[in-house]
Amino acid sequence: AQSVTQLDSHVSVSEGTPVLLRCNYSSSYSPSLFWYVQHPNKGLQLLLKYTSAATLVKGINGFEAEFKKSETSFHLTKPSAHMSDAAEYFCVVSTTGNQFYFGTGTSLTVIP
Amino acid sequence: NAGVTQTPKFQVLKTGQSMTLQCAQDMNHEYMSWYRQDPGMGLRLIHYSVGAGITDQGEVPNGYNVSRSTTEDFPLRLLSAAPSQTSVYFCASSRRGGGRNNYGYTFGSGTRLTVV
């Protein structure tokens, strides 16, 4: 069985301050983990992925995430928030490659 | 490069009507999936396919049918629409792989369906 828990449904940060979006996962096998972003009324865009290689993964737009097996976590970070980062973020777990399991999402608000 | 194309973008149905949501991809991806997105629930897997002629159920398959006669197309059929099927539907595709070769899904732009 696989699942993800996104620990915060809403996060607000000021522009220029760090972003932390938290994700814990549960998986019976070695998982692949992903972060997707969804801007209002848009589709989903892949930010970054972890697939059993380096545990610190860098993605697009300055985002990165660290896979921590001992903590079963895959938190998403960015050093300095930009207004364009305001969106919904989804953490995703997969083991087979054809079935993805989504978290319930974290809505990020960036305050000018 | 079109990627994953979904049609229509918006649809209003009456309870009991049937319809097909279309999905096509031009990337020669083996895997395709349908998800529904509801507020506060993330995306939930309806049906998926690992190749032409092969489909399987996801988390929430009831009320939906799929088929995969070609690599490119993966239509989703609503048999008898119900208000509980009001949602945003996303189609996605991916190259075959798992483990280190898990490529991640490419998503279409979605279909917003309202059942009245």
Which pLDDT band, with edges at 50, 70 and 90, does B1 fall under?
Answer: low
Average pLDDT, chain A: 92
A74 touches chain B (CB under 8 A): no
Is the separation of the CB atoms in A19 and A37 below 8 Å?
Answer: no
| A–B interface: beta-carbon pairs under 8 A | 73
Which residues in chain B have their CB less than 8 angstroms from residue A53's CB? 100
What radius of gyration do chain A's Cα atoms show?
13
Optimal mutation site among B4, B33, B43, interface A, most CBs of chain A within 10 A: B43
Nearest-neighbour CA in chain A from B44: distance (Å): 7
**Structure confidence at residue B101 (pLDDT):** 66
- Between chains, do A103 and B96 touch, taking CB under 8 Å as contact? no
Q: For residue B19, what are its two tokens?
A: 């319809």
| Percent share of chain A, pLDDT over 90 | 75
**Structure confidence at residue B111 (pLDDT):** 96
CA B46/CA A48 separation, integer angstroms: 24
pLDDT in tens, A13-50: 999 999 999 999 998 778 889 999 999 888 899 999 99
pLDDT in tens, B61-82: 999 999 999 999 999 999 999 9
- Between chains, do A51 and B90 touch, taking CB under 8 Å as contact? no
- Between chains, do A51 and B99 touch, taking CB under 8 Å as contact? yes
Q: For residue A108, what are its two tokens?
A: 């990020």
pLDDT in tens, B83-107: 999 999 999 999 887 666 677 889 9
Which member of A44, A95, A102 has the closest CB to residue B98? Answer: A95
| Percent share of chain B, pLDDT over 90 | 84
Which pLDDT band, with edges at 50, 70 and 90, does A53 fall under?
Answer: confident
**Structure confidence at residue B13 (pLDDT):** 97
Q: Determine the distance from the C-alpha atom of residue A72 to the mean position of all C-alpha atoms in its chain, rounded to a whole number.
A: 13
A97: pLDDT strictly greater than 80: no
**Structure confidence at residue B40 (pLDDT):** 85
Which member of B50, B58, B104 has the closest CB to residue A46? Answer: B104
Portion 67-106 of B in contact with A at CB < 8 A: 90, 92, 94, 96-106
**Structure confidence at residue A2 (pLDDT):** 81
Sign of CA dihedral A35, A18, A84, A13: positive
A1: pLDDT strictly greater than 80: no
The residues near B59 (Cβ < 8 Å, ≥ 6 apart) are B44, B45, B46
Average pLDDT, chain B: 93
